Amino acid sequence: MLRPAALRAVALAALAVALLAAPAGAQTTGPGTGGSQTTGTQTTGLGGSLPTAASQAAGSQTSATSTTETDPNAAVPVPQMDTAPAGRRLTGFDVQRIAQRNPVYRRTHAKHPGSFPNVYTKGPGRWQVSLFSKAKKPKELAQLYVDDASGAVTEAWTGFQVAWTMARGYPGAFGRKVNAPWVWIPLTVLFIAPFFDFRRPFKLLHLDLLALAAFGVSVAFFNDAQIGVSVPIVYPLLAYLLGRALWIGLRREARPRAPLKLLVPIPVLAIGLVFLLGFRIGLNVLSSNVIDVGYAGVIGADRIADGQDIYGNFPKDNEHGDTYGPVNYVAYVPFEQAMPWSGRWDDLPAAHGASIAFDIACVLLVFLVGRRVRGPDLGIMLAYAWAAFPLTLYAMNCNVNDALVGALVLAGLLATSAPVRRGALVALAGMTKFAPLALGPLYITSSRPRVRFAVGMALVLAVAFAFVVAYGDPRTFYDRTLGFQTGRGSPFSIWGLRDWTTAQAVVQVAAVLLAVGVAFVPRRRDLVGLAALTAAVLIALQLGITHWFYLYIVWFYGPLMVALLGVHGSSTWSIESARNGFEARMTTPLSHGSSADVSKRTDIWVRSDSIA
């Protein structure tokens, strides 16, 4: 049932104004394992991050595999097993016998007595055979694909790879060509090389950059369907980065460190940044894909434009795409209106446009934060580090909404002198994906006066709630978002992969305590310290979630790099850029026109106790 149009218009306008005005104002000036087997060639893939409906049996033999009108490769039950469907060579019984000879099928059937097969057509020239358990609510135990022309089993899956197609390692299913070695490896070299100091090879910064680059090793195993290897690799890396962020954020240094020794001059980095941005945009246009996350944004934007409910009103081919906050869907509205949705999961140009815009916003905002901390040199370093990091391109070329979260977090970090705006930005990030709401305690204690931060955050949350009421209802909103996210399982965390529920609960409690605790413990009170603890809170939360994926790295990557590079001095510091730090060493005489010797000294320290 549609809500009154006037209420929807007001709610949409208010949320859009908050989304557009807050970041603009923030830009201030200043210096496979799992028992699976595959054979043949995997020719299709689903870029979604949710389990397939085929694994969710619900009381009948055919209810485990869903069909949709919009998916040409949907599994369709075979009505007559002894007759070949039109345009096919094999009958249902032929396909069933072929599958039953497969070693994966035989092992699974022997392990589960009473299990039974169902046969489906699966797009042009392909069949699917699903093996179900004998139970009141059958569970899909194995899934095999059979080629109609050759009669060969092309894929055979068991375990969590039955339900999760994203765990099958389909080539290019996430980001297309960004996964190619000729793209990923050179980007990794470009990411590390400018910051590598060959005279001091054991600098801690080198280890920081290698830890970030090592996520690419996990991606490689993920692309090879070795989830049992790819998932465990992530956690030592996240834990290390959490420790580094806490070390920087909680440790007050008496004097800033020496300037970074770059391998190339800053102008060369600036030129490289321009070429990298062009390459990223070109690759997105020519060889990227839209997974279910970006598709969800386009659907939600279309629902808003048509005055329809969002939550509980998504199509079957992206049934759980309504799991995000309302700000996410509002952000996609201008792109969907400029490049309207066709009603199908096609190339979705609106999602491409949104992803490119979110990424460019992150580049601009991380530059502005760097300029505020140490001047334009650091801004260029940080913008380059964003553009050269393979995982930011990975998120961009999956055409998802995660860079929107990263942009809003960076904008909140930048709004040092506007507590109302900062509160609004934290709320906007939290109403996109809910994790950034945990930054509230840290940011309110870093803002003066604190009540203004609370007012800004409360206003945006109130508008978001009104939007939810206008485009749905609170109960459905909770069930489709937090209720769904907290209730689903996933093999893409160590907790879901190993079923370590008790350990996960401990980590989650520790993350909450950390998010609150960093607001009250003695800490570094400049923008670098705030960036470090921002990254720490977000990393801690990600360590405990059930469904983790590489796309989430862009939430904390910007603040983390501000901390890792910002702790070093700069040869271009000024009094203006020093006012947000503890001390800054002047590198030019105080007055060129004075004859006094003291005015020509360049070793004077300017101290500032202002907080971020």
pLDDT tens readout for residues 68-97? 345 677 889 998 999 999 999 999 999 999
What is the distance between the alpha carbons of residues 426 and 531, in angstroms, rounded to a whole number?
Answer: 13
pLDDT at 584: 44
Among 160-169, 350-359, 512-521, the least confident range: 160-169
Tokens 């409360």, residue?
458
pTM for the whole structure:
0.83
Residue 37: pLDDT over 50: no
Rg (CA), the chain: 26
pLDDT at 447: 84
Report, as an integer, the average pLDDT of 584-608: 42
Among 205-214, 218-227, 464-473, the least confident range: 464-473
Residue 33: pLDDT over 70: no
pLDDT at 596: 46
pLDDT per residue as tens digits for the range 300-357 = 999 999 999 999 999 988 999 999 999 999 999 999 999 999 999 999 999 999 999 9
pLDDT at 25: 47
Q: Is the dihedral of CA 177, 348, 345, 472 positive or negative?
A: positive
What is the distance between the alpha carbons of residues 438 and 425, in angstroms, rounded to a whole number?
Answer: 13
Tokens 């980065």, residue?
241
Residue 141: pLDDT over 80: yes
- Of 111, 112, 107, 83, the closest CA to residue 95 belongs to 83
- Of 158, 180, 53, the closest CA to residue 105 belongs to 158
The answer to whether residues 301 and 329 touch, using CB atoms and an 8 Å cutoff, is yes
What is the distance between the alpha carbons of residues 262 and 21, in angstroms, rounded to a whole number?
Answer: 36
Residue 120: pLDDT over 90: yes
Domains of the chain by residue range: 5-28+174-289+322-566, 52-163, 575-607
Residue 440: pLDDT over 80: yes
DSSP one-letter string for 544-607: H-SS--GGGHHHHHHHHHHHHHHTEE-TT--HHHHTTSSEEE--S-S-TT---GGGG-S-PEEE
Residue 59: pLDDT over 60: no
Residue 586, token pair as written in the block: 């002047």
pLDDT per residue as tens digits for the range 396-408 = 999 999 999 999 9
Angle subtended by helix axes 527-544 and 349-374, to nearest 10: 140
pLDDT at 487: 86
Q: Please state which CATH class domain 52-163 belongs to.
A: alpha beta
CA distances from 293 to 73, 385, 493, 550 (A): 20, 25, 18, 13
pLDDT at 251: 87
